[in-house]
């Protein structure tokens, strides 16, 4: 859990005075990290020792320790690389925190994912594959890497696929799409102008556009229009984090679900080709 999540979960167990300190923190964590104890006490309507007791109640050595770690989580710095870690974490702590954070996000998404939206996306992708239509994957930055992974998974199923991470190439690619083709737009923030432009062109060309992005974002709004598919992926990771981790894992999981669903729909005719691919790959391995 992050510091703010830990404090929020602890509120019911805190004395009333310490609850006031907690609510002040949650109201403006950045200001809390920079204000002196006297100001914190005055704004919370508590004594200065109460502020220190609050910090200890939520698991820290005192106000100095708490503010130092809080500042790291709300300002730029090492913890901004990953929402769960602190600057003084040992490798063993990093293993537990990073993995637990990822597992928690995956389990949360498992419970929140919309099965009907996945069904619509799988049907559209399988139809494009069976008819030899184009399936294009668009992403920029970190999402561009996910798009490449998606292209790799789907081209092995015999689909006519491509991955584009350059904004100009995306526009050219979207311009050549037609009805029956699919464009899969992958974006953590859902605010990339390049992707919004490419998605709009793909829609006008009659292609089915599948959006893998955060709900409520501009791209998600586009995905709710007629004939489009929104696969909303929400998580507690800020979209402007230096090194997004959880979002990338969730997007890769979505691609795995889609590729598995399409493989099942394409059916037995896939098996001979996949077996031949595997046989041919064996010749590329070193032997003992």
What number of other Cβ atoms are within 10 A of residue 142's Cβ? 18
- Sign of the C-alpha dihedral computed for residues 273, 275, 279 and 284 taken in this order: positive
Q: How far does Cα 106 stand from its chain's mean position?
A: 10
Q: 151 vs 39, 55, 77, 195, CA distance in Å?
A: 55, 49, 34, 17
What number of other Cβ atoms are within 10 A of residue 147's Cβ? 26
* 201, 205, 208, 213 alpha-carbon torsion, rounded to 10°: 0
For the chain, the structural domain boundaries read 3-75, 113-281
Q: What is the pLDDT of residues 217-272, one digit of tens each?
A: 899 999 998 889 999 998 766 554 556 688 899 999 999 999 999 999 988 777 78
Give the CATH number of domain 3-75: 1.10.10.10
Q: How far does Cα 176 stand from its chain's mean position?
A: 29
154-177: burial string, b at 16+ Cβ within 10 Å, e else? beebbbebebbbebeebbebbeeb
- Go through the chain and tell me how many residues it has: 288
What CATH superfamily classification does 113-281 receive?
Glucose-6-phosphate isomerase like protein; domain 1 (3.40.50.10490)
So what's the pLDDT on residue 85?
Answer: 67
Q: Can you list the alpha helix ranges (DSSP code H) found in the chain?
A: 3-10, 16-27, 29-34, 37-44, 48-57, 63-74, 91-112, 115-130, 142-155, 167-175, 193-204, 218-223, 246-266, 270-282
Q: How far apart are CA 232 and CA 213, in angstroms?
A: 5
So what's the pLDDT on residue 78?
Answer: 42
So what's the pLDDT on residue 72?
Answer: 63
Whether 3-75 shares its CATH topology with 113-281 is answered no
So what's the pLDDT on residue 146?
Answer: 96
Q: What is the pLDDT of residues 57-77, one digit of tens each?
A: 988 888 988 888 887 665 544
So what's the pLDDT on residue 173?
Answer: 97
Which residues of the chain register pLDDT less than 70?
Answer: 1-2, 72-87, 236-244, 287-288
So what's the pLDDT on residue 157?
Answer: 93
Do 177 and 136 meet the contact criterion of CB atoms below 8 Å apart? yes
């Amino acid at each position: 859990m992050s510091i703010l999540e830990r404090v929020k979960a602890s509120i019911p167990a805190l004395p009333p005075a310490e609850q006031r300190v907690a609510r002040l923190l949650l109201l403006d964590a950045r200001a809390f990290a920079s204000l002196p104890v006297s100001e914190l006490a005055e704004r919370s309507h508590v004594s200065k020792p109460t502020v220190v007791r609050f910090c200890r109640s939520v698991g820290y050595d005192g106000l100095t320790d708490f503010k130092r770690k809080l500042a790291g989580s709300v300002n730029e710095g090492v913890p901004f690389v990953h929402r769960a870690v602190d600057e003084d974490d040992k490798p063993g702590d990093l293993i537990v925190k990073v993995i637990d954070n990822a597992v928690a996000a995956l389990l949360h998404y498992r419970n929140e994912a919309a099965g009907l939206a996945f069904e619509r996306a799988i049907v559209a992708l399988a139809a494009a594959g069976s008819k030899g239509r184009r399936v294009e994957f668009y992403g920029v930055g970190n999402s561009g890497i996910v798009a490449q992974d998606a292209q790799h998974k789907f081209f092995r199923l015999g689909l006519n696929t491509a991955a584009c991470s350059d904004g100009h190439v995306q526009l050219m690619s979207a311009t050549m799409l037609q009805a029956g083709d699919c464009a899969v737009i992958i974006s953590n923030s859902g605010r990339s102008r390049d992707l919004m432009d490419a998605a709009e062109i793909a829609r006008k060309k009659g292609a089915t556009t599948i959006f893998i992005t955060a709900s409520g974002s501009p791209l998600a709004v586009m995905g709710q229009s007629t004939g489009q598919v929104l696969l909303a992926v929400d998580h507690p990771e800020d979209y402007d984090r230096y090194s997004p981790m959880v979002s990338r894992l969730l997007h890769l999981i979505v691609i795995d679900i889609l590729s598995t669903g399409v493989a099942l729909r394409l059916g037995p005719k896939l098996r001979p080709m996949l077996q031949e691919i595997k046989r041919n790959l064996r010749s590329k391995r070193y032997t003992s």
